[in-house]
Amino acid sequence: MDIQEIDNISCKITKKYLEQRIIDEEITEKAIIFFNQYYNLVEHPITREDIEKLASIDFSLKLDFLFWKACNPETEEEIKQFYRITPYDFFRNLLKNMDIMHYEKVLKEIILPHLRKNNHKKVLDYGGGSGYQAILLHKLGFKTSFAEISKISVEWMKYLTKELNMDIGVIDLQEQEIEDNYDIIILKDVIEHLPNTKYITNLIETLSKKTKNIFIFPDKLDKEEDYMPMHFSYEFKNG
């Protein structure tokens, strides 16, 4: 898929995305401060206007696409390293999870009813991106942990939880194993980034030792509808 195809597809969903967005101003401002400090952007700091561009589906996907092509990762280790260092999806992931669509479809319709029905309290957001889903679960009163391989996301959540005194466990998947057990583990927009079926199977088997309830929400159920340049094929089988 080339940049023109990404541009065409992203334009189709941008209108709906923008109509449904809700901006958490406190978290957004904290993210700007953190990003500028993390990359030492003193002379040319990122502004609020800049993050609107960086968070846009159209622009951020092009940056992702170009960085993926520049890195050209092929092995599992190279792919992990790409996600470890890429900064371009930080604001897109953060603002993406502030929109109504994600809240309604993931938390309100599926996760929260399950948690309340089963009186579950302890949640792990695995591959939690920029952390907003973990933040929401924490605000809703659940004992929440966040796990990521992205270095900037891990450092962001450490910074934010300290700044706002949030009791959210932060796990760096490059350096740490999942040690605790959880009532549920959520994988939202995760498995399509994993390079092959064996990798996915091994991950699910590992996580199954830490919970009886794994909720998987791929970015797209149908690979043919997928607009991300670095997503891999995946499929679900009954049983």
**pLDDT (0 to 100) of residue 106:** 81
> What pLDDT score does 228 carry?
61
Amino acid 102: pLDDT: 63
Q: How confident is the model at residue 4 (pLDDT cuts 50, 70, 90)?
A: low
- pTM (2 d.p.): 0.85
Instruction: Say what the pLDDT of residue 57 is.
Output: 75
φ, ψ for residue 142, nearest 5 deg: -90, 150
Beta-carbon contacts of residue 31 (< 8 Å; ≥ 6 apart):
51, 90, 91, 94, 130, 156, 160
The residue-averaged pLDDT of 137-163 equals 95
Instruction: Parse the chain into domains and list their residue ranges.
Output: 1-219
The C-alpha angle 125, 112, 224, rounded to 5 degrees, equals 65
Helix axes 57-71, 3-19, angle to 10 degrees: 140
**What digits encode the pLDDT tens for the residues 92-130?**
888 877 765 566 678 888 998 898 889 899 999 999 998
Interval 177-199 mean pLDDT = 90
pLDDT at 116: 84
Position 221 scores a pLDDT of 47
Better pLDDT: 111 or 196: 111
- Average pLDDT over the chain, rounded to whole? 84
C-alpha separations of 172 from 11, 98, 118, 158, 238 in Å: 34, 23, 29, 10, 32
Interval 46-92: pLDDT, tens: 999 998 888 887 788 788 888 998 999 989 899 999 999 999 889 88
The span from the CA of 172 to the CA of 151, in Å, is: 8
List the single range of 14-23, 63-72, 145-154 with lowest mean pLDDT: 14-23
DSSP string, 73-131: --SHHHHHHHHHH--TTHHHHHHHTTBHHHIIIIIIIIIHHHHHHTT--EEEEET-TTS
Specify the fold of 1-219.
Answer: Rossmann fold (3.40.50)
Task: Report the range out of 132-136, 145-149, 190-194 with the highest average pLDDT.
Answer: 145-149
Distance CA 236, CA 173 (A): 24
